[in-house]
Amino acid sequence: MNPTLGWTELPGKLAGRPLEEWNAAYAKVESYFNALRIRNKVLLGQLVALVIERALRRAPANPQRAASELAAEEMDHVVTEWFAEVLHEPPTNRDQMLSTRGRLALLLADMPGKWQDQFLRPGPWPDEFVRAMRDAYLRAGPDFQLSQMAPRPLHLGPITTLSSIRKVRYSKMIGIWILFAALLIALFVLTHR
């Protein structure tokens, strides 16, 4: 252990924080690497230790912040910086696309299956791995060939008349019904003479 880190300045504390707090930080970082499907226990332990070590270094300068917060922040830095190196893209604070692209590349390049030992390792990396990472790109479909379908007018024939009935004024409708009733009455009168 490096005594300058001040890890053991007080019993039961590490870098000024209770050991339980570091335990929680360790669990969170480990969970994230589990989520990235790092299955090898030795590799997993090394990666978590790498992140926790960076958090421990920062801890004395940030006494107001929780250990798990510092560890998560370091985890994010470590991973994003590594993506920037592998993908040859400078990290940007503008959005999270580098992280998103990096994670997608890890999956498409099959890091969890083929390249676990390369994850977060400093370069140079095998050409095949770098190529797989840099070529990884997800498409929802091939290039668009945009067009615009439009319905052709369809004359519905007699239905058009029926459907336009609602446009007829109520006064007109009442008039038609009165005429119809008059016709029935006339028929009745004529046939009962």
Partner 1 sequence: MSTARSHPNTAPAGPDPGPVIVNLPVLRRGMRVFLFYSCAVLLTGVVSLMFADLLWRTGWSTSRTLLLVLFIILFLLVSIGCMHGIFGFLLRVFGDRARITAFADYQRQPIADTSTAIIVPIYNEDVPRVYEGIRATYESLRATSQLERFDFFVLSDSTDPDKWIEEERRWLELVRDLGALGRIHYRRRLNNEGKKSGNVRDFLNAWGRRYRYFICFDADSLMQGGTIVRLVQMMEANPTVGLIQTVPALVNAESLFGRIQQFANRLYAPVFIAGLNYWTLSTGNYWGHNAIIRTEPFMQFCDLPHLPGRKPFGGQILSHDFVEAALMLKENWRVWFAYDLEGSYEEGPQGLIESAQRDRRWCQGNLQHALVLFARGLRNGSRIHLTLGIFGYLSSPLWLAFMLTFCWIRWSKVMSDLSDITVQSYWLGGLNPTAHAFLIFSICMAALFLPKILAIVELALDKERRRAFGGLLKVTASAVVETLFSTLHAPLQMLWHTEFVITILLGMGVNWGAQNRGADGTTWRYALRCHRWHMLIALVWGTLVVRLDPGVFWWFSPVLAGMLLAVPLSVLTNRSTLGRRAGDLGLFVTPEETHPPEEIALLRERLWKLQAEGALNPRPANSGIADAVLDPYLNAIHVSLLREKRLNPVYAEQMNQLNRPPAEMQTLAEKLLAQGPAALPASDKMRLLADPPTMSWLHRQVWMRPNQTLAVWWQMAIRRYAR
First to last CA, the chain: 124
Q: For the window 17-56, what string marks contact with partner 1 as x by the rule CB under 8 A?
A: -------x--xx-xxx-xxxx-------------------
Closest to 91 in 3D by CA, of 74, 103, 79, 75: 79
Buried b (16+ CB within 10 A) or exposed e, 81-110: ebbbebbeeeeeeeeeebeebbbebbeebe
**Is residue 103 a contact point for partner 1 (CB under 8 A)?**
yes
Q: What is the number of residues in the chain?
A: 193
**Is residue 160 a contact point for partner 1 (CB under 8 A)?**
yes
Q: Which stretch binds partner 1 (CB under 8 A): 52-60, 64-72, 125-133, 179-187?
A: 64-72
- 3-class DSSP assignment, residue 14: strand
DSSP annotation of 155: -
**Is residue 63 a contact point for partner 1 (CB under 8 A)?**
no
- Quick one: 35 or 179, whose CB is closer to partner 1? 35
Could you say which of 53, 96, 117, 176 contacts partner 1 (CB under 8 A)?
A: 96
**Is residue 64 a contact point for partner 1 (CB under 8 A)?**
no
Integer Cα distance of 36 and 71 in angstroms: 17
Closest to 75 in 3D by CA, of 34, 104, 116, 42: 34
**Is residue 155 a contact point for partner 1 (CB under 8 A)?**
yes
Could you say which of 12, 123, 124, 158 contacts partner 1 (CB under 8 A)?
A: 158
- Residues within the interface to partner 1 (CB under 8 A): 24, 27-28, 30-32, 34-37, 66, 68-69, 72-73, 75-76, 95-97, 99-104, 106-108, 110, 138-160, 163-164, 166
